[in-house]
Chain A
Amino acid sequence: MGKLKLGKSSPDKSGENCGCIPEVAGNGLLHRRALLGRGIMVAGAMGAGAAGSLTDAAAEPLTEAPWSIEPGDATPPYGRPSPFEKAVVRTVDNPKNEPGGSRARTPHHLLKGTITPNGLHFTIMHAGIPDIDPAQHKLLIHGMVKQPLVFDLDALSRYRMVTRVGFLECGGNSAPLFSNEPIQADVQALHGLASCAEWSGVPLATLLDEAGVDPRAKWIIAEGADAPHLSRSVPLAKVMDDAIVALYQNGERIQPGQGYPMRLYLPGYEGNMNVKFLRRIQVTDQPGMTYFESKIYTDPLPNGKDTQFYFVQEVKSYITSPSPGLALREPGLYEISGVAYSGNGRIEKVLVSADGGNSWGEAALDEPRLPKAFTRFSMAWRWDGGPAVLQSRAWDEGGNVQPTREQFVAKRGQTSKPPSVLGFPGHHFNAITSWEVSPKGEVRHVYA
């Protein structure tokens, strides 16, 4: 990782004399202007001469296609993607539902924008997906309250709901990057346990106020109705701030894999705490020290200590295109694109490097930049056919900066031998990811 240099551009690449888009950082990163309006087309045309001819052949003659000369299919009640998009699916690591957990990962490299479609949202189950009859599902609030209360779905549907876009990320997302050697896998395998959706539901604070919280209370313990009766403790301050009993995801009822008919949604907090199939909230003066917060979502540190209550998913970004599996076919102009997010708030800035961190240019950020939600960043890049290492680095509005892998490992450690790509040696990995582009255009995961 080289020293941070912003906006480095050599005189001969400034673009001032040729009228093309100037470089803002080494190895072909172009000014944001290249992404605006017609700029990219101009840059593409100009770039063709400089970086080798993209295509000299004329387009094929155009004729009527078979689907244009007869009526098409019936409209289905529930729309589905084109059959040609059948590769755009989650990877599922326990398709036969053998005893134990199962994980389904989001195909970031095949998606754009910031909202993950419901069927592609990541999910982790610890003992299968329960088949819950919503008419019989109940939510109990008890413990340090004046009056224990029970709510059903009908009742909750009459409360004022709030809607917010927010990311959800497993505390173990990106765990393969704890490996001492880079594991060769794509962005779906490495970072697929994070997604972003619009969540609608009832603020949990409204329901707790109705039950009357004892002023001495400090925590809640949330529990699901699935077979493991999964339970997690959440600080009461967080709950009263922005916790939602979510009933809808991207406008429709949340899917069974997301906790149908209701889940806890804690913006910016590790996925496991966002308890699915939510059936019970106990208000307490102490955490429950449940299995998942005692053993699973805690990590040994290099100094011999162990982490505990590592709730916030800290500032992070990764490039989704180009990325492993998406080879570059020829030199020329490309858009580098990825997602950035922080459990502490909005994304303030994303820098991109094409030379392994020796120089950096500021990426364009798509609006709206919402707090604790995916922000899409992009950067124009003229690949000259030579070796390149692509990186992104994000800052959030709290001034938190995504660490380099070196900084991260110094604090949190790494394995001494490569683990399985499906393993979880550690949690809350948020350091920089590096993709190396070979002269052939192939992309692989490296540490740089």
Chain B
Amino acid sequence: MSMRKVAIAVCVLACAIAGAARAESPRLGKPISQSDFAEWDINILPDGTNLPPGSGKAADGAKLFADKCALCHGDKGQGGIAVRLIGGPAKASLNGGKTIANYWPYATTVFDYIRRAMPFPQPRSLSDQEVYSLVAFILAENKLIGEDDEINATTLPKVRMPNRDNFVVQFPDRM
């Protein structure tokens, strides 16, 4: 192909891409720095990305659980007006029984969800330390970690959840 033909081909390609590009944007988004949205930056990824500093153990979590969780989830986490958090059937079915121990694929989700949504009447009121302690308590009571194991940014993503490899992704070709 001659240089001229190459140049034309490149131009045609470029024009085609430009034509397919989205409409002109007014570009009104305001830049913001990481430190200015730190309070909102609460997503925890399953590989542990974004877990905050701090740590917790089940013994501390037990006290917090009695104070802040037991009213709805039951004094032993067996469930009440809110769902069961501790124990339950070995396997879930369409009759119910999905639990943290028999179903949830990642332990990081426990931290993420408690911190963003619990306690129900006062979400975002727990310190990161308190969340780690509650996570340690719930995981230990479910025999997913030892009673004295420390839960922190390094150990939490390593907790092996029994049902992790049991999921079938429904629409892989569309993802």
Give chain A's interface residues, CB within 8 Å of chain B: 99-100, 126-127, 140-142, 147-151, 155-156, 158-160, 178, 203, 205-207, 209-211, 221, 223, 227-231, 235, 237-238, 279-280, 282, 284, 286-291, 294-295, 298-301, 304-312, 413-417, 419, 425-426
Contacts and interface: CB of A to CB of B under 8 A. Distances in A.
B170 A148 contact: no
A223 B41 CA distance: 10
Interface in B48-72: 72
A300 B89 CA distance: 13
A377 B39 CA distance: 50
Nearest to A141: B29
Nearest to A428: B170
21 contacts: A99-B72, A100-B120, A150-B30, A159-B28, A178-B94, A223-B40, A228-B123, A237-B174, A280-B40, A288-B43, A288-B45, A288-B112, A290-B109, A294-B104, A294-B109, A295-B109, A305-B168, A306-B167, A306-B168, A307-B168, A419-B95
Contact of B109 (A156, A289, A304): A289
Contact of B112 (A178, A291, A426): A291
Contacts of A205: 22
Contact of A309 (B42, B124, B171): B171
A85 to B, nearest CB: 36
A116 B167 CA distance: 35
Contacts of B169: 308-309
A309 B170 contact: yes
A20 B12 CA distance: 62
A142 B41 contact: yes
A415 B95 contact: yes
Contacts of B104: 294-295
A41 to B, nearest CB: 47
Contacts of B168: 301, 305-308
A305 B103 CA distance: 11
A122 to B, nearest CB: 22
Contact of B45 (A100, A286, A413): A286
